[in-house]
Amino acid sequence: MTARFKNCLLTFFVLAILITMLITMPSYAHHSRAMFDDSNPLELVGTVEQWQFTNPHVFIILNVTDENGESKIWTLEGLGVNGLVRDGWTPETLLPGDKIMVSVNPLFSGGSGGSYFNLRWEDGSEINPSTGRP
Amino acid sequence: MMKLLTKPVSFLSAAKPASAAVIAALIISGCSPQETENMQEADMASVSSPAYPDWHGQWHQANQRLQWPTQGYEQDGPPPLNDEYMARWQQVRDDQAAGIPPDEPTQRCLPQGMPRIMKAVYPLEIIITPEITYIYAEWNSQFRRIFTDGRDWPGYILPSFNGYSIGEWHDEDNDGVYDALLVETRAIKGPRLYDGQLVPFHDNNETVILEEFRLLDDMNMQNTITSIDDALTEPWVVSQYYRRQLDDIIWAEYACMENNSQLKLGDEWYFINDDGTLDPTREGQPRLVPEVLD
C-alpha cells in the first residue's frame, strides 16, 4: 500500500467520522446550543437511572463511575419527544439499570450536564427502538 | 407601512347575496315556477363558489431549515435589516460564538410566534372550513385561526404571539377548486425571532406578515412569507416548503414546561440538573444551589 493511498484512506475515514457526527448530532429547535461544547465531545459509559421521555427535551439521568471508583450523576439532554416518537422511541426504550454508552457535548461550565448523541448499548451496538430491546 | 390586503372580500360571501338578488328579480318579473327553477339552477352554476381544496394530512418541514447546525431563512440571502438591527444581530451572534446563550424566547417556553411557527419544526395540520382555516402547530400544541369569512379588521385587536389573521381563497387556474390561500397577519406580540439564527424583529412589534399558500403538487406545499417590519429596509420574502404525510400519522403533545432545563435568572442562563442544582452555562458564572438543597 503506497503512502498516498494510506493518506487517501485516512482522509476518507476522518471525513466519514465527521459526517457521521454531524448526522447524528441532535437537531435543536427549542434553545441555543451556546452552552454546550460541541468541539470536545466526551464518551460516557454508565447505568441509566432515569429515562425522562419529556418535552422540550428528553433526558437520560446517567450514573457514571470513574476510574477512581467514584460515581457521578450526569444530566444528559436529548431531542424532543415529538421527533423521537416518530422514529419509534418510547418511554420504555430505556429502563433504569440499562448499561449504555453515549457521546456527550458537555456544558462549557464544566458541570456534569450536557447534550447527548450517538446512544449505544454498553457493547457499542446501536440502540434501535424499532427492533426492540436486546 | 405596506399592507396588501386592506379589506379582504371572500368569494363565498360575495356570491350569496348576488344569487339571492337574481332569484328575487326573477320571481318579481313573473316567470313561471319551472322557468324560475331552471334559471335559478343556471344562476347558481354561474356564481357558485369554487370548492375548497383537500389539504388534509400531516405537513412536515420539507427544506430542513432548522436542523443543527441551525440554518435559517438567511440561506436565501442576508436579512435586509437596517443598520441598527443588523448591529444588534451581529452582537447576539458574537455573544453566542463566545458561549453566551442568546435571549431566545422559546428557551423560556414562550410561543415562537409568527412567522416562526410556520417553519414547522414539528408538523402542521391544516383544517379548512368556509369561515376559518385552522393551522395546528405541534410545537407548543397551538392553533392559528385564519378568518376567511370576509370580515374586516376589528377596531382593536389584542396582540398575541400568532397575531390576528385574515385570509382570502383564490382559484388561480379557474378549475373550480381553490388553490391558493393568501393571508395577512397583524397584531403580533413579542418577543419573537425569525428562527434559531436569532434574526430580530423591531421592538415596536408592528410586524405584518403576508403568506401565500399553494400546493406544488399533491404532496408538497409552498408558503411564501413576506415580513414587513420596521427593523427591515424592505419587505423580506422567504419561502417555506412542506411535505405531506397521509399514512401512519402520529400526533404528539408538546408541553414545553414539562421538563425545561433552561432557566434565566436576571441576564444569566442556567442549566437545571436533575437534582435541582443549577449549572452555569458559561465560564465565569457562579454555580447556584437553591437553599432548599443545602
Look at residue B92 and tell me whether its pLDDT is greater than 70. yes
Q: What is the mean pLDDT of chain B?
A: 83
B76 and B239 in contact (C-beta within 8 Å)? Answer: yes
Q: What is the residue whose three cell numbers read 404532496?
A: B219
Q: Output the pLDDT for position A106.
A: 94
CB contact under 8 A, A27 and B100: no
Q: Output the pLDDT for position B177.
A: 97
Of the two residues B30 and B47, the one the predictor is more confident about is B47
Look at residue A44 and tell me whether its pLDDT is greater than 60. yes
Look at residue B25 and tell me whether its pLDDT is greater than 60. no
Q: Output the pLDDT for position B286.
A: 76
Q: Which chain A residue has the Cα nearest residue B283? A: A109
With an 8 Å Cβ cutoff, is B14 touching chain A? Answer: no
Contacts of A26 in chain B (CB under 8 A): 68
Q: For the segment A77-101, what is each residue's pLDDT rounded down to a tens digit?
A: 999 999 999 999 999 999 999 999 9
B157 and B187 in contact (C-beta within 8 Å)? Answer: yes
CB contact under 8 A, B274 and A55: no
- ipTM of this complex prediction, to 2 decimal places: 0.76
Cell numbers at residue A29, please? 429547535
Per-residue pLDDT averaged across B43-68, rounded? 75
Q: Rounded to a whole number, what is the distance in Å from the CA of B60 to chain A's nearest CA?
A: 11
CB contact under 8 A, B139 and A29: yes
Q: How far apart are CA B138 and CA A86, in angstroms?
A: 13
Q: Output the pLDDT for position B75.
A: 65
B254 and B137 in contact (C-beta within 8 Å)? Answer: no
With an 8 Å Cβ cutoff, is B172 touching chain A? Answer: no
Q: Output the pLDDT for position B62.
A: 84
Q: Output the pLDDT for position B21.
A: 38
Q: Which chain B residue has the Cα nearest residue A113? A: B273
Look at residue A37 and tell me whether its pLDDT is greater than 50. yes
CB contact under 8 A, B101 and A50: no
Look at residue B22 and tell me whether its pLDDT is greater than 60. no
Q: For the segment B262-293, what is each residue's pLDDT rounded down to a tens digit?
A: 888 888 888 888 888 888 888 778 777 666 65
Coil, helix or strand at residue A3: helix
Contacts of B89 in chain A (CB under 8 A): none
Look at residue B68 and tell me whether its pLDDT is greater than 80. no
Of the two residues A16 and A94, the one the predictor is more confident about is A94
Q: For the segment B164-195, what is each residue's pLDDT rounded down to a tens digit?
A: 999 999 999 999 999 999 999 999 999 999 98
With an 8 Å Cβ cutoff, is A131 touching chain B? Answer: no
Per-residue pLDDT averaged across B219-234, rounded? 95
With an 8 Å Cβ cutoff, is A71 touching chain B? Answer: no
Q: Output the pLDDT for position B283.
A: 78
Of the two residues B284 and B237, the one the predictor is more confident about is B237
**Contacts for B201 with CB less than 8 Å, ≥ 6 apart:** B190, B192, B193, B194, B207, B227, B229, B231
Residue B45 binned pLDDT confidence (cut-offs 50, 70, 90): very low
Pairing of strands B164-170, B208-217: unpaired
Of the two residues B288 and B43, the one the predictor is more confident about is B288
Q: How far apart are CA B98 and CA B111, in angstroms?
A: 26
Of B196, B250, B282, the CB nearest to A109: B282
With an 8 Å Cβ cutoff, is B281 touching chain A? Answer: yes
Q: Which chain A residue has the Cα nearest residue B140? A: A56
Q: Output the pLDDT for position A76.
A: 97
Q: Output the pLDDT for position B38.
A: 53
**DSSP for B22-69?**
HHHHHHHTT--HHHHHHHHHHHHHHHPPPBPP---SEEEESS-TTSTT
Q: Output the pLDDT for position B9.
A: 35
- Phi/psi for A120 (5° steps) reads -135, 160
Look at residue B48 and tell me whether its pLDDT is greater than 70. yes
Per-residue pLDDT averaged across A35-50, rounded? 95
Low-confidence winner among B92-101, B186-195, B253-262 (lowest mean pLDDT): B92-101
With an 8 Å Cβ cutoff, is B151 touching chain A? Answer: no
Q: Output the pLDDT for position A108.
A: 87
Look at residue B41 and tell me whether its pLDDT is greater than 70. no
A20-B66-B203 Cα angle (round to 5)? 145
Residue B27 binned pLDDT confidence (cut-offs 50, 70, 90): very low
Look at residue A70 and tell me whether its pLDDT is greater than 90. yes
CB contact under 8 A, B106 and A31: yes
Q: How long, in residues, is chain A?
A: 134
The alpha helices in chain B, defined as continuous H runs, are: 11-28, 33-47, 83-97
Q: Rounded to a whole number, what is the distance in Å from the CA of B209 to chain A's nearest CA?
A: 22
With an 8 Å Cβ cutoff, is A21 touching chain B? Answer: no
Residue B215 binned pLDDT confidence (cut-offs 50, 70, 90): very high
Of A26, A73, A82, the CB nearest to B122: A82
Q: Rounded to a whole number, what is the distance in Å from the CA of B284 to chain A's nearest CA?
A: 8
Q: Rounded to a whole number, what is the distance in Å from the CA of B291 to chain A's nearest CA?
A: 19
Of A35, A59, A86, the CB nearest to B269: A35
Look at residue B4 and tell me whether its pLDDT is greater than 70. no
Q: For the segment A50-68, what is each residue's pLDDT rounded down to a tens digit?
A: 999 999 999 999 999 998 9
Per-residue pLDDT averaged across B102-112, rounded? 91
The pTM (predicted TM-score) of the whole model is 0.80
Q: Output the pLDDT for position A25.
A: 42
